[in-house]
């Protein structure tokens, strides 16, 4: 299978500060990367779609100025949570898609657990 890494795996920050999360596809070039958020005992929620060299597409209700996404290369996307607040505490997961025949397969990173105090 394909390998996707995320860094850091856990982060604790103070309210009002910013946190950057990196997502890398290690053994393939991703056509697209996605950012998800998951609260305890809830489903994955797609936040945004990220393509290399273009602006991210945000899902309805996700503030683009708060969740900054940069997709610098075919193997790296970053999510910056700006001016974090306790309600931003969540499990953030990225994924990367790889073309498999005539379709795409999406592989997830291990996730980043963010706690805002």
Partner 1 sequence: QKEVEQNSGPLSVPEGAIASLNCTYSDRGSQSFFWYRQYSGKSPELIMSIYSNGDKEDGRFTAQLNKASQYVSLLIRDSQPSDSATYLCAVILGNEKLTFGTGTRLTIIP
Residues in touch with partner 1 (CB under 8 A): 1, 31-32, 34, 43-44, 46, 49, 91, 93, 97, 100-111
Distance separating alpha carbons of residues 24 and 29, to the nearest angstrom: 9
β 90-100/33-38 pair status:
antiparallel
Nearer to partner 1, 2 or 82 (CB): 2
Q: Which residues contact 40 (CB under 8 A, 6 or more apart)?
A: none
CA 55 to chain CA mean position, Å: 14
Q: Minimum distance between the CB of residue 103 and partner 1, rounded to whole angstroms?
A: 4
Question: Which residue's CB is nearer to partner 1, number 28 or number 82?
Answer: 28
Between 5 and 82, whose beta carbon lies closer to partner 1?
5
The string of DSSP codes covering 66-89 is: TEEEEEEETTEEEEEE-S--GGG-
Nearer to partner 1 by Cβ, of 31 and 89: the residue is 31
Residue 49 to residue 21: CA distance in whole angstroms: 15
What's the closest the beta carbon of residue 10 comes to partner 1, in angstroms? Answer: 11
User: Closest approach of Cβ 105 to partner 1, in Å?
Assistant: 6
């Amino acid at each position: 299978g394909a390998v996707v890494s995320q860094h850091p795996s856990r982060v604790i920050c103070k309210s009002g500060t910013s946190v950057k999360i990196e997502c890398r596809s290690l053994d393939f070039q991703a056509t697209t990367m996605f950012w998800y958020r998951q609260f305890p005992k809830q489903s994955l929620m797609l936040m945004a779609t990220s393509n290399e060299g273009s602006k991210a597409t945000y899902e309805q209700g996700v503030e683009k100025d708060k969740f900054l996404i940069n997709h610098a290369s075919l193997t790296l996307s970053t999510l910056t949570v700006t001016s974090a607040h306790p309600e931003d505490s969540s499990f953030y997961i990225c994924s990367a898609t790889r073309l498999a025949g005539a379709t795409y397969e999406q592989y997830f990173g291990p996730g980043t657990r963010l706690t805002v105090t």
